[in-house]
Structure 1
Amino acid sequence: MANNKDASIKNSAITGAVSQTVNIYGSAVKEHYVSYGGIDNETGKILTKSLKDIAKSKVNPNFKDQNIKQQAGFSAENKYTARQNAKNIINGKTNRTIRTDDLGRVNDPLFDHVEIDSSGNIIADSGLQMKFVGSDAKSALSKLESKEYQKYIDANAKLSVPSDFYNGIKEEAQKKIQNLTEQLKRAQKDGNSQLAKTLESRITKLEKINKNLKDSGITNKEAIEARLNPELSVAKDVLGLAHKAGLQGAKFGAGIGGSVSLIKNVVALVRGEKTATDAATSLVKDTTISAGIGYGTAAIGTALKGAMQNSTSQTMRSLSKTNVAAGIVTGVFEVSKTMTSFVRGDIDGVQCLEQLGEKGTAQIASIMFATAGQIAIPIPVVGAAIGSTIGYALSSACYAELMNSLKEAKLARERRIQIERKCEEISAMMKEFKREMDEYFSNKLKIQLDVFNEVNDEIAVALKNNDINGFINANNTIQESLGYKTQFSSFAEFDKFMSK
């Protein structure tokens, strides 16, 4: 039992340690949930188009590929917004990326995205135009050079392109610049000023394109997937962030679990309870298990926290600001161990209830103390870890006292069972006694009944014949059958007795 409690306290400390990671990455995950559903329930902001809305867009069968690609561009805009904001949250930046459509500037002629500061003010020169065009890098560059896109070049807009085209476009642009530069030299040498001017203009445009080109972080394949299967697309982003949070959690788990195990194994080694090999093996095992717990708590907690933070329920959104998401994961882990022990028969029902209750109340206390600890000790991880440990230890102590009544009830129940068994034995004995008594009295009464029937006949004859002695003899027969001694056997004896 002590080992289980030590493990639970250690797991609670890990929960507190990963709380900050869960909160940060959970907030980042929330951005992807907003991108999919189109509503930020935390701020009340409603997007013009969500990934779910775009996926429902109509497609002309005659221009299916063209329509899908165009609509995938809108999906890419949403994913870019979510990814950039998630990235800023993780990096501790307060700036946020927002689509101009969601600022009320629908179909802005120059920019698809701008950045805003924490006060909602647009940051200067942050405008960006996203272009998912062309079938490859070369054709994409040709599109960007066309007259149709000249306005973006003139506005010095940043041009965000698919990740799988980005390097190719820059290489193609550089090749063209080199080629045009050679042509410019020849034109200048030949004195062809008109051609030289044209070549200079093209080189300048390509250099601006090259300078303002930005990797969107989204491939063409991802954009198409976001258009055709937004649920899968968002799930991949959420799992990606959860994995990153899990890796951070694994570090904390390994650090806490490894430290605790190191102390225990060194003590065991000094006492001679373990060999050096056994101690080292135990240390590696404990550290690995704790790292796994840290990973799972942070990863699953992150996904859960993001969903809670964008919940339509105010209560759930409020809870998302605490460490409840990570606590739920740890709680489920602890409960699963208890239920496994119960199913295997290692513990009985009362012990199962005891452990479930202890872990439940301890987990709640752990969450509360982790929050308080982080406030009291505003050092990342440290305050929450200490708070969680204290919370778990205190709640466990209180719960242990509360469980005494249940244990007493358990003992009382055991005594009651013993008494019931004794009562059953006595009851069986009483039934046997009753059976014997019934049998005895049934036989006895049968004999008496036969005597009564015979004597009644004698009494009837005596009364008919006025035979006093016959009546007395019949009456004496009844008394004798009942065990009484008679005083008179005839009327003469009775008369003599009365004459005295």
Structure 2
Amino acid sequence: MNNSTRYNAIFTGTIANQQTQDLTQRTQRIFTDTEHLSNLARKWKNVHADKAQGHMFEQLEVIKFNFDALKKDSDIYAQTTASMGLPTNPVDIVIKRGNETIREIQAKSCNSAARSTFALSNEKYREMQRLAPSDQHSEIERLLKKRIEAGTLKAEDYEQTLRNLKKSLSHDEIASTGTQYKEAFDATNPNLADKIANQYKLDSALIDIHKSGMKAGKIGACVSGGLTALTESYSVIKGEKELSKAVIDTAISSAKGYATGYAVTALSKGITHTTSHFLGETISKSLTRSNAHVAIAAGVVNSAKSITSYINGEIEFENLSNEISHTAITSTSSFYYGAAGQMLIPIPVVGALVGSSVGYLVGNLIYQSGLLALGDDNILVNEAKERRRQIEQLCLQVIPQIQEHRRQLEIQITQNNELRKQGIDFGFNLIQNAIESTNPEIFILGLNKIGEQFGIILPYQDFDEFDHIMKSNEAFVF
């Protein structure tokens, strides 16, 4: 496996990671939604399920809506106002695009269609989308029409409810699958809520992995195919290769690029979501920002290719060791330099791409120099180990001295802080005495004492000096 193939895996993975961030963010939002579902089940576990199920109903509809948005690659999403810290808001669910609210929804889940109908038909819910358990939808429609025809006092409210009634949370082409009353009721059981949450996490992660992999595969095919097309065209022009053979080689390279791009990105997304599930969203975001998941995935994919070649008898064990060693060094170097590049050049893709490229080059040079490798056969490696041993001995001798100097420095800092604190306290005591005795001279003395602790001296020591300056014709500065 040549260097170009290894680098293309990192290059494609880095670009694809940025190009698929929207999919990952939507998936992470579903992770957050499902965590909220589990938390709600625990929060309301001591409340009768008939009452608590209303909260579960809203959250289930949000999860299902956002799951459909992820499948259809839409940028709109739903959120309960309760999860936004607004539990008393008349709006139960909002549908948003970015920070803009594009739809407001009132959701009611009661143990009968009649109760849901009445609860939804409040005049304060004007022109909101109305949402009730999907198994009650037909009966609610029938009751609304019947009450409208009867000409009751709430006929206008019933007409508005009927006009805005939906079987599931929906907007444009995005819609949940609907939630039945029993489904929301059962979800109040924390164990079942966790099971539902984990299933949606798994399903959404798999969708992100596949969709991101598909996008990355196209990028990989373009990169590998494009580079191969250039080299093959040059060979054809020079007469070194037939056009038909060049076309076939380009097609094969594009297919390999697609497979590599898909594998690297799919694996990197899997690392991201697995980290988020087991270690938390904060650690997962840190991993993503550092580009570590791409470097790890590229290393795994490149190593897998080398192992496959060895199993198929295409390379010897020595070549396998060298290739895996090269992959490990360049992947690690790309990860560290990619993270540094992203900090130094805070432009999406650009910083990580530049850093990863430099890191790959540095890692490649380190490998070729023989400073790092598997095994001890290289003379440079042995020499480096001896130098390291000498440095370790020197450090062991110096460490006690450094520790003693640090201890002395800490004592000096502590004493200095204590003296400064005493000086500041003394200054404030003088100011307090000055206020109580209305003596401005003591007040100035107190200010001077405080200023001394920070190397500051007042330009005027008493009011006589200040009056003299004010009455003179000399220029002065405060």
TM-score tier by shorter-chain length is 0.5 to 0.7
Higher relative contact order (CA 8 A, sep 6+): 1
- Aligned partners of 2:237, 2:175: CA distance in 1, in Å? 55
CA deviation after TM superposition for structure 1 residue 333, in Å: 0.8
Is the contact between residue 247 and residue 295 of structure 1 (CA under 8 Å) also seen in structure 2? yes
What is the match of residue 15 of structure 1?
13
Match of 1:20, SS state, is: helix
Are the equivalent residues in 2 in contact too, given 1:16–1:367 (CA < 8 A)? no
Tell me which amino acid in the other structure corresponds to 1:128. Answer: I
Deviation at 1:347, TM superposition (A): 4.2
Distance 1:162 1:248 in 2: 37
Distance 2:374 2:365 in 1: 15
Structure 1 range deviating more: 362-371 or 247-256: 362-371
5+ unaligned residues in a row in structure 1: which ranges? Answer: 40-46, 61-65, 184-193, 413-500
Aligned with 1:159: secondary structure?
strand
Match of 1:158 in 2: 129
Give how far 1:82 is off. Answer: 5.7
Q: CA deviation at 1:332?
A: 1.0
How far, CA to CA, are the matches of 2:120 and 2:211 in structure 1? 38
Identity of aligned residues (%): 18
Partner secondary structure for residue 40 of structure 2: coil
Scaled by the length of structure 2, the TM-score of the pair is 0.59
Partner of 1:260: 227
Q: Partners of 1:169 and 1:255 in 2: how far apart?
A: 55
CA distance in 1, matches of 2:78, 2:282: 25
Does residue 333 (structure 1) correspond to residue 313 (structure 2)? The answer is: no
Q: 2:120 aligns with which of 136, 149, 154?
A: 149
C-alpha RMSD of matched pairs (Å): 5.1
Q: Is the 8 A contact 2:292 2:335 kept in 1?
A: yes
- Evaluate the alpha carbon distance shift between residue 346 and residue 157 of structure 1 in structure 2; reply closer, same or farther with a 3 A threshold: same
Which string of whole-angstrom CA distances, capped at 9 and with x for unpartnered residues, describes residues 10-57 of structure 1? 112112211213544333322333334449xxxxxxx7426xx59999
- Cα displacement string for residues 139-190 of structure 1 (whole angstroms, at most 9, x for unaligned residues): 97x876x323212764543334689999x999x79x969xx8xx8xxxxxxx
Q: CA deviation at 1:274?
A: 2.7
The alignment status of 1:218 with 2:176, answered yes or no, reads yes
Equivalent positions of 1:56-455 (< 5 A) are: 73=57, 76-77=60-61, 79-80=63-64, 83=67, 91=75, 98-103=79-84, 108=88, 110-114=90-94, 127-131=104-108, 146-151=117-122, 154-160=125-131, 202-209=158-165, 214-215=170-171, 217-220=175-178, 224=183, 227=187, 229-230=195-196, 231-309=198-276, 311-312=279-280, 317-344=285-312, 346-373=314-341, 381=349, 384-402=352-370, 409=377
Q: Distance in 1 between matches of 2:307 and 2:367?
A: 19
Letter in 1 for 2:213: G
C-alpha distance 237-59 of structure 1, shift in aligned 2 (>3 A) = farther
Write out per-residue CA displacement over residues 184-238 of structure 1, whole angstroms, 9 at most, x where no aligned residue.
Answer: xxxxxxxxxx95988666545433558x984472213799599564233331122
User: Matches of residues 454-493 of structure 1 in structure 2 within 5 Å?
Assistant: none
Name the SS for the 1:220 alignment partner: coil
Q: State the distance in 2 between where 1:83 and 1:326 align.
A: 25
2:33–2:59: 8 Å Cα contact kept in structure 1? no
Give, as a single letter, the amino acid of the residue that structure 2 aligns with 1:261.
Answer: T
Distance 1:208 1:362 in 2: 58
Q: State the SS of the aligned residue for 2:240.
A: coil
Q: What is the aligned length?
A: 366
- Distance in 2 between the 1:380 and 1:156 partners? 41
CA contact (8 A) 1:23 1:305 kept: no
Distance 1:375 1:160 in 2: 46
TM superposition score normalised by structure 1: 0.57
Deviation, 1:401, is 0.7
2 CA distance for matches of 1:222 and 1:21? 37
**C-alpha separation in 1, matches of 2:24 and 2:127:** 35
Change (3 A) 1:55 1:249: farther
Matched to 2:298, the amino acid is T
Q: In the TM superposition, what is the alpha-carbon distance from 1:386 to its structure 2 partner?
A: 4.5
In the superposition, relative to structure 1, how do residues 248 and 267 fare at CA in structure 2: closer, same or farther (>3 Å)? same
Cα distance per residue 1:274-293 (max 9 Å; x no partner) = 32222112212211221222
CA distance 1:169–1:316, shift in 2 (3 Å): same
Instruction: Look at both structures and tell me which one has the larger radius of gyration over its CA atoms.
Output: 1
**3-state secondary structure, aligned to 2:130:** strand
Describe the SS at the equivalent of 2:377: helix
1:336-365 per-residue CA deviation (whole Å, 9 max, x = no partner) reads 122233445544444333222221121122
Change (3 A) 1:318 1:90: farther
Contact in 1 for aligned 2:213/2:261 (Cα 8 Å): yes
- Show the counterpart of 1:449: none
